[in-house]
C-alpha cells in the first residue's frame, strides 16, 4: 500500500471477512480508518451484519457509521433488476451497484467528512498508466472482482485504497485467524446477487404483479411450435436446462421476444454465435487506447475467466461496436462487457444490441 501524508480512509464494511481484514490491514499500514456500513438490503429484517461490523470496529477502536440506503437500493437496483428481466434482458445488479451506488456513496460520505481516501475489501488493484488510473485484476484469480468495476471514474479510482488486491482469499482468512478474529475468519463467502442469492425465477414470481409473467409459446428457429413456457423472464440467452421442452438433443434459448411473450430455441449452439455487439452507457478511462486499437484487446462478458479478442469502434450514435475476432455464443442484452489488456481494465459498457 502507498504511504500518504493524510492517512484517513473511509472503508465500506459489510460485516464480512473481506472488509474486516481490509480494516485490519489498513490499520497495520498506518491508516486512520472510519468504517461505514450501508444498509442496502436486509433479508427478512436480518441486521446481524450491522452488529458484526459495529463489533469489529469497536475491537479495532475505529469509528463506525451506519448509512441507510435501502430506499435508493430498492429504487435503482432491485427495480432495475426486475424490469430488465421483464424486458427480456439479463441485468447486472452488482456492476450497477458498485459503479453507481457503493463507490459514489463512499466518495460522497468521505467528502462530507474531508477524508481523502476510500477503501473496500474488493479483490482488485489499481495502477497509474499513461496519465490515467486503471482498475487492475486482483492477484487471486478465483476472487478477482475487476469485472464489476469498469465504470468507475478517475476521481474515485484515484482515492481508492485496496488492501486485498494482492492477496488470496486463503491468505485473507489466515490473517483473520492469526490476529484472533476467529468469527471473521470463518464467515461464509457471499454468493451471487445479495438480494437474490437463490433462483432468480422464484424472486421474480414473488416480486412482480399478478399477470406480469404469464405462460407463452416456445418456438424453434423456423417458428414451429415446440411447447409452452412459464413466462419469458424465466429464460436467459444460452440457457439449456429447465426449458420445459425435451428432445433427444441439446436445446438452447436463442431469442426472447417480450412483445410476443415468445421464446425461441435452437438445437445447435452455433446458431447463438455472433461476431459483434454494441455497448451503451460505456466508460473508457483512456478511449484512445481502446478505440481503433491494433494491439491485443480482450473483452469479457462474464465474471468467470474468459478471453475474447476484439476491436472496438465508436458508432455515429455514440455506442461502441465490439467486433469479435472469433464468434462467441450466448451474448445477452443487458449484460456488461469489460475490456482488458493483460490484467488492466480498460473500461466497459452495457450490451444493448447483439449482431453485426
Ligand atoms: N453493506 C455494505 N456497506 C459498506 N460496504 C460494503 C457493503 N457491502 C459490501 N461492501 C464493500 O464492498 C466490498 C465488496 O463487497 P462484496 O459483497 O462484493 O464482497 P464480499 O467478498 O462479500 O465482501 P465481504 O467479505 O467484506 O462481505 C466489501 O469488501 C466491502 O468493502
Q: List per-residue pLDDT tens for the chain, 356 residues long.
A: 555 579 999 999 999 999 999 999 999 999 999 999 999 999 889 999 999 999 999 999 999 999 999 999 999 999 999 999 999 999 999 999 999 999 999 999 999 999 999 999 999 999 999 999 999 999 999 999 999 999 999 999 999 999 999 999 999 999 999 999 888 888 888 778 999 988 999 999 999 999 999 999 999 999 999 999 999 999 999 999 989 898 889 999 999 999 999 999 999 999 999 999 999 999 999 999 999 776 789 999 987 767 899 999 999 999 999 999 999 999 999 999 999 999 999 999 999 999 98
Task: Check residue 238 and report its DSSP letter.
Answer: T
The partner residues of 299 in beta bridges, in order of sequence, read 308, 339
Q: 272: helix, coil or strand?
A: helix
Supply the residue whose CA is at minimum distance from atom 23 of ligand 1: 18
Can you tell me the distance from the alpha carbon of 149 to that of 157, in angstroms, rounded to the nearest whole number?
A: 10
- Cα–ligand 1 centroid distance for 125 (angstroms): 15
Give the per-residue pLDDT at 1: 56
Give the per-residue pLDDT at 291: 93
What is the β-pairing status of strands 298-300 and 160-161? unpaired
Residue 238, marked binder = no
Can you tell me the distance from the alpha carbon of 223 to that of 355, in angstroms, rounded to the nearest whole number?
A: 20
Supply the residue whose CA is at minimum distance from atom 15 of ligand 1: 122
User: Which of 11, 13, 14, 54 to mutate for ligand 1's pocket (most ligand atoms within 8 Å of CB)?
Assistant: 14
Q: Which CATH number fits domain 215-267: 2.40.300, 2.60.40, 3.30.530, 2.30.30?
A: 2.30.30
Orientation of helix 17-28 relative to helix 48-60, angle to 10°: 20
The partner residues of 265 in beta bridges, in order of sequence, read 253
Can you tell me the distance from the alpha carbon of 101 to that of 94, in angstroms, rounded to the nearest whole number?
A: 10
In the chain, which residues fall in CATH 2.30.30?
A: 215-267
In ligand 1, which atom is closest to the CA atom of 67? 3
Residue range 273-354 forms a domain whose CATH class is mainly beta
Is any atom of ligand 1 closer than 6 Å to the C-beta of 190? yes
Give the per-residue pLDDT at 356: 83
User: Which of 57, 121, 187 to mutate for ligand 1's pocket (most ligand atoms within 8 Å of CB)?
Assistant: 121
Residue 17, marked binder = yes
Closest of 199, 202, 18, 46 to residue 123, by C-alpha: 18
Supply the residue whose CA is at minimum distance from atom 19 of ligand 1: 122
In ligand 1, which atom is closest to the CA atom of 11? 31
Q: 144: helix, coil or strand?
A: coil
Is any atom of ligand 1 closer than 6 Å to the C-beta of 84? no
Give the per-residue pLDDT at 198: 86
Give the per-residue pLDDT at 296: 81
Contact present, 7 and 32 (Cβ < 8 Å): yes
CATH number of the 8-185 domain: 3.40.50.620
Can you tell me the distance from the alpha carbon of 194 to that of 151, in angstroms, rounded to the nearest whole number?
A: 20
- Cα–ligand 1 centroid distance for 220 (angstroms): 43
Q: 283: helix, coil or strand?
A: strand
- Cα–ligand 1 centroid distance for 17 (angstroms): 9
ipTM attached to this prediction: 0.97
Q: Which residues are catalytic?
A: 97, 194
Residue 46, classified by CB atoms within 10 Å of its CB into exposed (0-12), middle (13-18) or buried (19+), is exposed
Task: Check residue 231 and report its DSSP letter.
Answer: -
Q: Residue length, the chain?
A: 356
Is any atom of ligand 1 closer than 6 Å to the C-beta of 16? yes
Amino acid at each position: 500500500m502507498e504511504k500518504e501524508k493524510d492517512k484517513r480512509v473511509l472503508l465500506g464494511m459489510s460485516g464480512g471477512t473481506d472488509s474486516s481484514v481490509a480494516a485490519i490491514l489498513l490499520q497495520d499500514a498506518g491508516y486512520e480508518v472510519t468504517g461505514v456500513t450501508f444498509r442496502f438490503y436486509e433479508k427478512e429484517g436480518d441486521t446481524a451484519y450491522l452488529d458484526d461490523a459495529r463489533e469489529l470496529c469497536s475491537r479495532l477502536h475505529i469509528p463506525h457509521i451506519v448509512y441507510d440506503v435501502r430506499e435508493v437500493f430498492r429504487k435503482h437496483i432491485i427495480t432495475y433488476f426486475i424490469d430488465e428481466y421483464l424486458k427480456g434482458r439479463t441485468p447486472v445488479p452488482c456492476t450497477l451497484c458498485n459503479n453507481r451506488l457503493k463507490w459514489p456513496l463512499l466518495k460522497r460520505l468521505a467528502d462530507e467528512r474531508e477524508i481523502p481516501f476510500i477503501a473496500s475489501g474488493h479483490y482488485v488493484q489499481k495502477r497509474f498508466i499513461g496519465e490515467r488510473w486503471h482498475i487492475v485484476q486482483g492477484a487471486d484469480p478465483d476472487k478477482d472482482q475487476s469485472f464489476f468495476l469498469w465504470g468507475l471514474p478517475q476521481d474515485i479510482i484515484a482515492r481508492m485504497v485496496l488492501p486485498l488486491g494482492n492477496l488470496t482469499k486463503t491468505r485473507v482468512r489466515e490473517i483473520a485467524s492469526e490476529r484472533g478474529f476467529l468469527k471473521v475468519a470463518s464467515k461464509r463467502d457471499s454468493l451471487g446477487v445479495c438480494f437474490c442469492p437463490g433462483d432468480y425465477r422464484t424472486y421474480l414470481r414473488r416480486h412482480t404483479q399478478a399477470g406480469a409473467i404469464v405462460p407463452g409459446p416456445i418456438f424453434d428457429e423456423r417458428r414451429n411450435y415446440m411447447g409452452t413456457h412459464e413466462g419469458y423472464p424465466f429464460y436467459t440467452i444460452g440457457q439449456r436446462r429447465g426449458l420445459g421442452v425435451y428432445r433427444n438433443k441439446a436445446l438452447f434459448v436463442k431469442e426472447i421476444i417480450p412483445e410476443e411473450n415468445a421464446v425461441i430455441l435452437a438445437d445447435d449452439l452455433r446458431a447463438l454465435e455472433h461476431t459483434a455487439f454494441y455497448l451503451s452507457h460505456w466508460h473508457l478511462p483512456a478511449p484512445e487506447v481502446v478505440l481503433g486499437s491494433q494491439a491485443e484487446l480482450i473483452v469479457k462478458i462474464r465474471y468467470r475467466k474468459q478471453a475474447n479478442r476484439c476491436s472496438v469502434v465508436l458508432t455515429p450514435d455514440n455506442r461502441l461496436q465490439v467486433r469479435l475476432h472469433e464468434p462467441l455464443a450466448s451474448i445477452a442484452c443487458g449484460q456488461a462487457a469489460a475490456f482488458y489488456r493483460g490484467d488492466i481494465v480498460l473500461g466497459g459498457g452495457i450490451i444493448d444490441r447483439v449482431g453485426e
